[in-house]
């Protein structure tokens, strides 16, 4: 997905217009505009020039967002913009207080009056109101531009509403001045003219001030939704200590190249992805996985950028640098997710696209209807302005994106990466979770579980024989035996005339005697196996273990059982997934007996075994008849199934191919994070629905009241109260979304 920075957007109507303009371009397959980050994500073949031109013709600015500039950006939501809003708000409030004192202080609050008559007070108030309008001139500039483009936005509503209030007030003021004989006679006017009841100067100033207040609070709240992303960015170290000619040289991290040797002292952060060449230490990987317990690192272990070396001194070799590091990929995934839209946002976008023109039409109808009913121009204008101001579609536009960004940020904090907003929404809808066995439910590498000596053989003799034979083989089971033998401090003996029989075992000669290792069938062809040994092997196989037989010089030397152990959290993870009302399926290429044993140990009833990698996709298609599916895997052979599933979930420690094919990445490789991802998705969607409900219901209830439907019952919204309600609605939507940051995803 290509990303672009968009400037000039002020509300949901703006983002809808940009999205509509770009989506019309030939070659654009998908376009998603985010009001939160002022960014746009594009999929398709359209050129950058065509896309930027389309945005500019729609009345907004656009530029290509490079990965480097995105990752280096300290505040993706524009801190200078918030500072400008703060200054505008401060000066507007100061002027508004003076205006309110002059126009309403004595009459409504009983404050000491000024030695000025009505006309003089209103003239000064008009000048101060004009100053407020100049301070907040952006509303008028952007509003007029949007009207000229025949695509009115929120700024247009504010400009029309406050401009109409000011214009009508000025007309009344000028008419009053002319009625007393002109400007020269104003000072001599001692009697009250009673014009304040028809003036809207304080309303015009109040509207602009409250809207600016709402914008400022909204900007602060939106900024908080990016905290997880900004905090991650700040974790990246700026320098690295390279070892050049046995000397330590500190350089900017951008200068590190693959293959460089670098040192990491205790307390320092690892600058790039690498492999430990020397040293032992514990590394805090919470920045990537959300797991706070440090992980021990030894020679040959991988380390990742932005993780912290807590104890020992490490010398590492750089493997991935710059944008290729795991840390940089996390930032990119979060950034891209923020630039996408959840399907649930579609209805709000459609409404936002036509909302402003409809509201302007309603305001005109309300004004005309009140005039026809016999109301004064001032009363009709009051209702019309209230409709314009209360209808600003900010809350509607923020309802979905602020929740999506907060949800993806909360997930990243706990090591759960949603690649797109669609993935965040769809994860909570799955009704079938398919778990790959090897490397997902199990540890992914076999280990020795049982060593059973034959008659007349000691454990050491059996292990020495097994180690000597299996050290000649590259089979994973052989590697498990060798690893166990080394841990028991065994040494090998020379094997001659070595022969491998794929699918059965291996043979050779040790000390001049024939040695065999392999399946029951192979050993039975060489020697007799007792019923008790056969029964013992069958019992271990029922437990999901693979049994290897060893013989020497025509006698059974013993049995060694190997198994791929379950992950420690596998049973708890399955239980958590089931508790969410989801059917769990175990999918594996292993034999039925081994698969059934793994299913029994984890509590999975539906086990599908002996499935070739090419058939996994077919199984997912069949399971899709039960509902939306999620595939959880880690290997290259899982990639087709991850793509075929409605939601592909990759174990973070898996292959790059699996991670690229997935929609969700579990960086900590904890299987319990599958349930956590589902819970977070459901909570996020619930927040979005709440936000959309309140955004719609606010307008459905607010517009009729602002139009004066309940005026007969004495319930009337003046423009100032309408502006306050509009601001409150936006702040409430953002604040509601921020609750996701306070909820834990693990329960």
Catalytic residues: 436
Is 192:116 a contact under the CB 8 Å cutoff? Answer: no
Is 295:283 a contact under the CB 8 Å cutoff? Answer: yes
Is 746:291 a contact under the CB 8 Å cutoff? Answer: no
Q: Tokens for 571, please give them.
A: 């049973």
Helix or strand run (H / E) with residue 372: helix 346-372
Q: Which residues pair with 664 in a beta bridge?
A: 418, 649
Rounded-to-integer distance, Cα 470 and Cα 696, Å: 70
Report how far apart the first and last C-alpha atoms of the chain are (Å, whole number): 33
Residue 151 contacts by C-beta under 8 Å, 6 or more apart in sequence? 13, 17, 58, 59
Is 461:381 a contact under the CB 8 Å cutoff? Answer: no
Q: Tokens for 357, please give them.
A: 């023109």
Q: Which among 676, 35, 5, 10 is positioned nearest to 345, based on CA atoms?
A: 35
Rounded-to-integer distance, Cα 248 and Cα 451, Å: 49
Angle at the Cα of 733 from the Cα atoms of 730 and 737, rounded to 5 degrees = 140
Is 36:398 a contact under the CB 8 Å cutoff? Answer: yes
What sign results for the dihedral spanned by CA atoms 482, 483, 488, 490?
positive
Helix or strand run (H / E) with residue 283: strand 281-284
Is 219:126 a contact under the CB 8 Å cutoff? Answer: no
Q: Which among 667, 666, 671 is positioned nearest to 285, based on CA atoms?
A: 667
Residue 671 contacts by C-beta under 8 Å, 6 or more apart in sequence? 435, 440, 441, 567, 569, 570, 573, 632, 651
Q: Tokens for 570, please give them.
A: 């596998």
Is 645:630 a contact under the CB 8 Å cutoff? Answer: yes
What single string gives the DSSP state of each residue in 178-222? HHTTSGGGSTT--S----GGG--HHHHHHHHHHHHHHHHHHHHHH
């Amino acid at each position: 997905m290509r990303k672009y920075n968009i400037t000039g957007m002020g509300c949901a109507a703006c983002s809808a217009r940009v999205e509509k303009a770009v989506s019309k371009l030939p070659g654009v397959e998908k376009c998603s505009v985010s009001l939160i980050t002022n960014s746009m994500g594009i999929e398709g073949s359209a050129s950058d020039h065509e896309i930027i031109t389309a945005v500019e013709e729609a009345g907004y600015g656009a530029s290509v967002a490079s990965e480097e500039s995105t990752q280096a950006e300290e505040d993706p939501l524009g801190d200078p913009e918030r500072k400008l809003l703060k200054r505008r708000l401060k000066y507007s409030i100061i002027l508004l207080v003076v205006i309110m004192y002059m126009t309403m202080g004595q009459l409504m609050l009983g404050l000491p009056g000024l030695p000025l008559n009505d006309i003089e007070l209103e003239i000064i108030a008009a000048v101060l109101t004009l100053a407020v309008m100049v301070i907040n001139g952006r509303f008028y500039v952007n509003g007029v531009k949007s009207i000229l483009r025949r695509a009115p936005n929120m700024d247009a509503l504010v400009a029309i509403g406050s401009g109409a209030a000011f214009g009508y007030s000025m007309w009344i003021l000028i008419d009053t001045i002319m009625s007393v004989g002109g400007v020269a006679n104003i000072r001599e006017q001692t009697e009250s003219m009673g014009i304040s009841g028809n003036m809207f100067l304080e309303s015009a100033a109040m509207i602009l001030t409250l809207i600016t207040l709402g914008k400022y609070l909204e900007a602060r709240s939106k900024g908080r939704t990016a905290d997880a992303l900004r905090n991650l960015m700040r974790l990246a170290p700026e320098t690295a200590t390279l070892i050049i000619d046995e000397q330590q040289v500190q350089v900017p991290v951008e200068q590190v190249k693959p293959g460089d040797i670098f040192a990491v002292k205790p307390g320092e952060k690892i600058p790039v992805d690498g492999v430990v060449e020397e040293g032992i230490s514990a590394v805090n990987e919470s920045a990537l996985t959300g797991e706070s317990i440090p992980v021990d690192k030894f020679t040959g272990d991988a380390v990742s950028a932005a993780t912290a070396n807590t104890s020992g001194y490490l010398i590492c070799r750089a493997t991935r640098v710059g944008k290729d590091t795991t840390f940089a990929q996390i930032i990119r995934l979060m950034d891209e997710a923020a630039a996408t839209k959840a399907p649930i946002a579609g209805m709000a976008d459609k409404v936002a696209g036509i909302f402003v023109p409809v509201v302007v039409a309603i305001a005109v109808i309300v004004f005309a209807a009140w005039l026809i009913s016999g109301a004064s121009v001032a009363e009709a204008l009051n209702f019309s302005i209230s409709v314009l101001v209360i209808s600003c579609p900010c809350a509607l536009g923020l309802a979905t994106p602020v929740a999506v960004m907060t949800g993806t940020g909360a997930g990243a904090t706990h090591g759960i990466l949603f690649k797109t907003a669609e993935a965040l929404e769809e994860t909570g809808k799955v009704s079938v979770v398919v778990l790959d066995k090897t490397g997902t439910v199990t540890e992914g590498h076999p280990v020795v579980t049982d060593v059973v000596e034959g008659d007349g053989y000691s454990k050491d003799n059996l292990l020495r024989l097994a180690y000597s034979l299996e050290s000649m083989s590259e089979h994973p089971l052989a590697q498990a035996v060798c690893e166990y033998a080394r841990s028991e401090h065994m040494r090998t003996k020379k094997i001659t005339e070595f022969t491998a029989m794929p699918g059965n075992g291996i043979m050779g000669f040790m000390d001049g005697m024939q040695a065999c290792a392999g399946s029951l069938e192979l050993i039975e062809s060489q020697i007799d196996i007792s019923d008790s040994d056969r029964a013992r092997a069958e019992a271990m196989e029922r437990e999901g273990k693979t049994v290897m037989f060893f013989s020497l010089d025509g006698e059974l030397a013993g049995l060694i059982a190997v198994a791929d152990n379950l992950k420690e959290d596998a049973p708890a993870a399955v239980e958590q997934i089931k508790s969410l009302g989801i059917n769990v399926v175990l999918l594996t290429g292993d034999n039925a007996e081994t698969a059934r044993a793994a299913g029994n140990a984890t509590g999975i009833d539906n086990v599908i075994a002996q499935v070739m990698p090419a058939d996994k996709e077919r199984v997912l298609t069949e399971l899709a008849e039960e509902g939306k599916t999620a595939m959880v895997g880690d290997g290259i052979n899982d990639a087709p199934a991850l793509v075929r599933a409605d939601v592909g979930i990759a174990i973070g420690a898996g292959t790059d191919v699996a991670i690229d094919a997935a929609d969700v990445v579990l960086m900590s490789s904890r299987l319990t994070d599958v349930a956590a991802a589902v819970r977070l998705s459901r909570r996020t969607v619930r927040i979005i629905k709440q936000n959309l409900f309140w955004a719609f219901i606010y307008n459905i209830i607010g517009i009729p009241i602002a139009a004066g439907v309940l005026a007969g019952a004495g319930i009337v919204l003046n423009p100032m109260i309408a502006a306050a309600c509009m601001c409150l609605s936006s702040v409430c939507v953002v604040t509601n979304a921020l609750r996701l940051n306070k909820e834990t995803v693990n329960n």
